[in-house]
Amino acid sequence: MTYHLHYWPTIQGRGEFVRLALEEAGAAYVDVARGGKDEGGGERALMADIGDHDHPSFAPPYLVDGKLVIGQTANILLHLGARHGLAPKGEAGRLWVNQLQLTITDLVAEAHDVHHPVGMGLYYEDQKAEAARRAEEFRTQRMKKYLGWYETVLEKAQKGGWLTGADLTYADLSLFQVVEGLRYAFPHAMKRLEPKLKRVVAVRDAVAERPNIAAYLSSERRIPFSTEGIFRAYPELDPA
Ligand SMILES: N[C@@H](CCC(=O)N[C@@H](CS)C(=O)NCC(=O)O)C(=O)O
């Protein structure tokens, strides 16, 4: 069965958390909006098609798996985790990994709101003063609180080095993406924080070394970070 991932074609964004899980699993998938227009590709088709389902998604990403149409990044990962051994089988473990992922959802929303603190529909240039205030709090308090929490989770998990201990889950892949995104957007803040995040950085490094992920990262399928995505590098928001 080939999955169909529907997401914006030119950014990593939230779709990247799904792409990483699909790539790690070696799953067959089509990144639909990145295909040609004759195959339903392009941004226009993405938004035109999103409501064409009994369970329409509010916003991309969404994943089509046969008759299933699944929206919300964490929900898609819940599905893929169970299908591809990227989550524990038992209920307590599945809920825990979902919790780890939902906390990444919160972090991602806050990272986005740094450059759009007033409104999604406004340009960054129209909310720069508010963004500077928001960025200061995000850099000095929120990044530390979120990443410090994952560090504590890793410390408690002990053996194995992954968030749940011995086995890699989709939440580890997502933590990799968060570290990469924050390094891109807030390199100075991350340099200050990383000495206290040894376990988080070790997860980032271990994910990057996984054969399927390493192949993906060096392929053209991996879209570069940019100031169009969720993690944006605006030097004025990350002073040295
Ligand atoms: N909570 C959702 C958020 C989805 C979301 O905000 N998608 C963005 C792109 S990353 C979007 O296209 N939003 C359009 C909108 O909210 O109108 C998730 O985690 O998947």
pLDDT, tens only, 71-103: 999 999 999 999 999 999 999 999 999 999 999
Distance in Å from the first CA to the final CA of the chain? 48
Please tell me the distance between residue 60's alpha carbon and the centre of ligand 1 in angstroms. 6
Please tell me the distance between residue 59's alpha carbon and the centre of ligand 1 in angstroms. 5
In the numeric block, which tokens belong to residue 190?
């991350």
What tens digit of pLDDT does each residue of 204-223 get? 999 999 999 999 999 999 99
For ligand 1, atom 1, name the residue with the nearest CA. Answer: 72
In the numeric block, which tokens belong to residue 162?
């992954």
Mean pLDDT estimate for the chain: 97
Return the pLDDT at 175.
Answer: 98
What tens digit of pLDDT does each residue of 3-26 get? 999 999 999 999 999 999 999 999
Please tell me the distance between residue 174's alpha carbon and the centre of ligand 1 in angstroms. 16
Read off the DSSP letter of residue 39.
G
The CA distance from 22 to 79, in Å, is 11
> pTM of this prediction?
0.97
15 CB near ligand 1 (under 6 Å): no
Return the pLDDT at 240.
Answer: 96
Which burial class, exposed, middle or buried, applies to 157 when counting CB atoms under 10 A from its CB (0-12, 13-18, 19+)?
middle
- The DSSP-derived string for 137-204 is HIIIIIHHHHHHHHHHHHHHH-TTSBTTBSS--HHHHHHHHHHHHHHHH-HHHHHHHGGG-HHHHHHH
Ligand 1 pocket: which of 7, 12, 14 to mutate (most atoms <8 Å of CB)? 14
9 CB near ligand 1 (under 6 Å): no
60 CB near ligand 1 (under 6 Å): yes
Q: How confident is the model at residue 159 (pLDDT cuts 50, 70, 90)?
A: confident
Q: Which domains does the chain have, with CATH numbers?
A: 91-209 (1.20.1050.10)
